[in-house]
Structure 1
Amino acid sequence: MGKLLPRSLAGQAVALQVAVVAVIVIGGSVLAVIDSRIDEERAARDQVTAVAVALADAPSVAAALEAPDPTAALQPVTEQVRAATGIAFITIMSTDGTRFTHTTPALIGQKYIGATAQALRGEVYTEEETGTLGPSIRTIAPVRAPDGRIVGMVAAGITIEKLTEAWMGQLPLILTVAVASLVVAFGGLWLIRRRLRAQTGGLAPAELRLMYEHHDAVLHAIREGLIVLDDGRAVLANDEARRLLGSVADAGENQLDMPGFLTDGVGSLDDVLTAHRGRVLMMSRSPVPGREDGAVVTIRDRSEVLEALGELDTMTRFAETLRSRAHESANRLHTIITLIEMGRADEAARSATTELELSQQLIDHMTDAVVEPTLAALLLGKIAQASERGITLTLTEDSHLTDRTAGLLQPSEMITVVGNLIDNALDAADPDDPWVEVTIVGDAASLEVTVADSGPGMDPDVFTKAQERGYSTKNGGDEAGRGLGLALVAQVVARHHGTLRAENTYGSVVTTRLGRAVNTGSTGAP
């Protein structure tokens, strides 16, 4: 069977439709023929019954049957009625079945062939019987005298041959309608085949299924978000798009709820926008030719790239700090060596131990207050960096961070938040009174980071704009590598449903809170 079907999907679909249409048309034609035969037979029965009853009820027929020569009075009448109605015969007979009239005059006087018992009981009876003219449908009705006596019978009939000729005469019309229906149907199916072939590229069902399976696998495997829009609604989104947007979800009837910024506009290339949980996304929207509300949207995540840039910037600052510390340590080492060469060993030892004690005290303070080693190293590096720039950077006595805070932020995220807030504070500190103060308080349920500086601070509008990528109060913005710090902090905070606010109190104070509210001691400017 499979070898008989065409190869392409269009051909197979149309071939099956042709078979179905042919069965329907042929079946309908057969039913029409059968219905025509049934209708003709029903009409014939009604006709012969009407003729027989009409003649039997005529007073002249009853009177003629009691006359000396019934044939002379009734034969002309019956032949006239038979010619007018087109039936095969009309026979009027006596109660014993002797014919007084017949289509063939030579048969007059002979016995009627057929059932008469029902008529003699006063019933009108219709039957199919074979008589002198062949098989026929006939009706026999009783003839009553005025006093109610049955004085004779009237039989009217139509031959099966003539009946067959009648319904066979409708076959040409039925066949013409059937052939015309097939021609119109095949023409329409041919047009459908052309359209299906154009839309499916002449591919076979197996090829289309294979193409779909590979297309679906590729769609969900690519690491770029892809969304297909139709009539302003998203009808398809791959796994990466759902991950990036977060809010993409099935909305029933194979539709998707989409953020408004994806369905607005006509066309765009690499638009930067903030979406679910503060992600920074790059979106390109390409309209589909020929479809006014159709478009293909591709989405790329810039958050991870920006976080990597922030970490790279932190590592770069670490490297600069280590370089400066190495240079400073080299100077101190040369001083100690020179004191020893001058014979002042006691002063050399005192200088070395004093420096070591100060460094150890600072390290001990950091590790006691901040148990996270990565964050402690960051703060030590920032203190050294601030010292080189002539800025006093301190970790307040209120700071206390437990090892259970890692459940709120990963070490890399904590470095991003604290490092960028300190960098911004170092850049904003007042040159005449340069200081930066850091307070970090956290436990398993909450984390609060407060960074204050002696700078002028930002009003709410500027602070809101500063959380956008590329915005900077300094010249250059994104092109100069600025405008990343606070945007990265805002992304981390949004991702963890925290808060980020700025105020001007004892200085410019920026506070980040994650988890439940944290109560900290009062802080003041140094």
Structure 2
Amino acid sequence: MWHRWSIARRLFLGNLLFTVVLTAAFAAVMVSDAGSRSYEQTRQRMLSVATSMADSPLAVAAAASPDPSAVLQPWARAAMGNAGVDFVTMMSPDGVRWTHPDPARIGGTYSGSIKQAQAGQAFVETTAGTLGPSVRAIVPIKDAAGTVVGMVSAGVTVHNVEVLAAARLPEVLGLAAALLLAGSLAAWTLGRYLKRVTFGWGPAELGQLFAYYESVLHSVREGLVLVDTGGTMVLYNDHAALLLGIDPAASPQLDALDLPGSLRELLRSGRTATDEVHLAGDRLLVVSQRPARAPGSSTPAGTVATFRDHTELTSLAGSLSSTQTLVEALRSQTHEHANRLHAIISLIELDRAGEALDFAAAELSESVRLGGESVGTLDEPFLAALLLGKRAQADERGVRLELTASGTMPPDRLDARDLVTLLGNLVDNAIDAAAGAGGTRGPAGPTVWVDLLVADGALTITVADNGPGLPTTDLDVLGRIGTTGKTSVVPGGRGYGIALIRRATAALGGTIIGENDGGAVMTAVVPLSDAAGPAAAGSPTGTAQATP
């Protein structure tokens, strides 16, 4: 049964037992010390009584008289009462008693040791005499010449000394009881504290719980981080170290760790977060954070954050988004071409072939011009088709799309899927913002500007609109899944656009910033150096991340 006891109960009983043993030992020492002190004080008192009587002229004169007992017996009995001693025995140098508490014993031989007194030295002993065990002092009586002419023995029985020592016993027991009470109170208080902090669990339960937690921390496939209120990372598991690149030898302080700024801010703030997207190097992490509270407490002791690696999932989502963007662009373009084809057929049916030919030639010229600019600049047919489709899509929503391009991009330097994801989502967001403004911003009505510039070994993509602008230029905030910078969300949209844009930019090894200048302005810079080769091969392993 004892192995089920809590740590608090074990500590209380252990401390109580220790206090009892300590108190008993302390009491025994005090009683022994009190007895020793009583015996020592008794010896000193007996020596003083015997010395004062031996030095008295009466004792010297009586020792020289023919009948010392006649003079000394009354004096000895009076001294016994005055000094509070049990006996005063005065004797000759040979040990023959001159006085005794029992007059019948006068003339008998003294039963104690007298050799030292006969030699002229006073001494104290504890021995058994005619009155029982006693503490006695024997002092020689000397005449003016220093000759021993008699001896004085004064003493008390051992029983009386023990009574004197026992008189201090209540004091000793009271002190021992106070010590026992104080120790028990301290043990009870500490036990209550331990019971509160350990929730009443025993050592075996705590050890088993620790083993379970260790197993979970090392086996779970999500990153787990615990941060206290002082900004110290007190615990993290293996997967968190892998995802965040934490060096085990580094300081656990958040400011000392090499973490992305948005993640450091989130962990330091302690705010509640649900499925927020953060870039960590070339990884896209979905982070949730909750306050850590002890059971029964409302005060947070820190925060616990979980990290899920959505890099591959987001890459697939980007590919799907690219495909959907191209499909939507082609659908809009097909719808626009169908309308124009109907117009041409109607003109021919109305026997107005010349006008039909002029209409078709003008449309063909515009398409060739736009397509030629895109293809000539980017040498990427997917982007050319995307921009042509986006133009048709913008026309459907009453937004004018203006495209400018300059420079020539070397072929096979960038991954086409990431480029389509990046440019397509930028243009989609701009069209949504401009269309939502209702054509009230500027005389030209809702307008989106797309500029593609290849120069200095980099492709610079600038997409601007005359919509209401970004609610914040912090892309860490706009990039969280479930948030959006649009004033009106398109049905089916969930705010994934910025997250996909930042992921595609990071996969291409580039950077992106957001600004407000009469509307939103998004600028992405993608390097065209050989270092971008891995991205071109479809494996986004670049270490650069999108910066807000």
- Which range, TM-score by smaller chain? 0.5 to 0.7
Matched residue SS, 2:317: helix
SS in 2 for 1:99: coil
| Structure 1 residue 221 displacement after superposition | 4.8
SS at match of 1:315: helix
Distance 1:174 1:290 in 2: 46
Shift in Å, 1:420? 0.5
1:142 Cα shift? 2.5
Contact 1:422 1:451 in 2 (8 A): no
Residue deviations 1:432-475 (CA, integer Å, cap 9, x gap): 99875464988xxxxx543357x679999989345632787765
Contact 2:224 2:306 in 1 (8 A): yes
1:132: which partner in 2? 130
Q: Residue in 1 aligned with 2:525?
A: 511
Per-residue deviation at 1:292? Answer: 3.2
Which whole-Å CA distance do the structure 2 matches of 1:170 and 1:508 have between them?
A: 94
1:155 Cα deviation after fit: 1.9
Give the superposition deviation at 1:140.
Answer: 1.8
Distance change in 2, residues 1:513/1:459 (3 Å):
farther
CA positional deviation for 1:126: 1.9
**CA distance in 2: counterparts of 1:56 and 1:514, whole angstroms:** 123
Q: How far apart, CA to CA, are the structure 2 residues paired with 1:495 and 1:115?
A: 110
Measure the CA separation in 1 of the matches of 2:277 and 2:508: 19
Give distance in 1, aligned partners of 2:250 and 2:421: 41
Whether contact under 8 Å (2:126, 2:136) holds in the other structure is yes
Measured after TM superposition, the shift of residue 313 of structure 1 is: 0.8
3-state secondary structure, aligned to 1:119: helix
Please name the residue that 2:141 is paired with. 143
State the match for 1:481 in structure 2.
493
Equivalent-residue separation in structure 2 for 1:463 and 1:201 (angstroms): 46
Is this contact kept in 1: 2:322–2:424, CA < 8 A? no
CA separation of 1:495/1:287 partners in 2, compared to 1, >3 Å: closer, same or farther? Answer: farther
Corresponding residue of 2:410:
399
- 1:263-297 CA distances to partner (integer Å, 9 max, x unpaired)? 547x7463858586585644344766534343554
Matching residue of 1:316: 324
More displaced, 123-132 or 493-502? 493-502
Partner of 1:21: 19
Unaligned runs of 5+ in 1: 328-361, 371-375, 406-410, 443-447, 519-526
For residues 64-75 of structure 1, what are the structure 2 equivalents within 5 Å? 64-75=62-73
The match for 1:114 is 112
Do the aligned partners of 2:141 and 2:151 also contact (CA within 8 Å) in 1? yes
- Distance (whole Å) between structure 2 residues aligned to residue 218 and residue 144 of structure 1: 96
Q: What residue identity is the alignment partner of 1:159?
A: T
**Residues 388 and 144 of structure 1, relative CA distance in 2, 3 Å threshold:** same
Deviation sequence 1:143-191 (CA, Å, 0-9, x none): 3334444333222222233333433455566557656765776687678
| 1:17 alignment partner AA | N
Rate the CA distance shift 1:249–1:133 in 2: closer, same or farther, 3 A.
Answer: same
- CA–CA distance in structure 1, aligned partners of residues 526 and 63 of structure 2: 125
- Residue 17 of structure 1 aligns to a residue whose secondary structure is helix
Secondary structure at the counterpart of residue 464 of structure 1: coil
3-state SS, counterpart of residue 385 of structure 1 = helix
Select the residue among 260, 270, 274 that pairs with 1:270: 274
Tell me how far 1:483 sits from its aligned partner. 6.0
- Give the Cα–Cα distance (whole angstroms) in 2 for the partners of residues 496 and 123 of structure 1: 112
Quick check: 1:399–1:439 contact (8 Å CA) kept in 2?
A: no
State the alpha-carbon separation in 2 of the partners of residues 433 and 24 from structure 1: 88
Residues matched between the structures, number: 453
TM-score by length of 2: 0.62
- Identity over aligned pairs, percent: 27
Change (3 A) 1:54 1:263: farther
What is the TM-score with the length of structure 1 in the denominator? 0.64
1:90 Cα deviation after fit = 1.8
Within 5 A, what are the aligned runs for 1:42-81?
42-81=40-79
Gaps of 5+ in 2: 256-262, 336-371, 392-401, 432-443, 533-548
Aligned to 2:385: 384
Q: Tell me the equivalent position of 2:367.
A: none
Look up the SS of the partner of 2:116 in the other structure. helix
How big is the alpha-carbon RMSD for the aligned residues of Structure 1 and Structure 2?
5.4
Partner of 2:422: 420
Contact 1:274 1:281 in 2 (8 A): yes
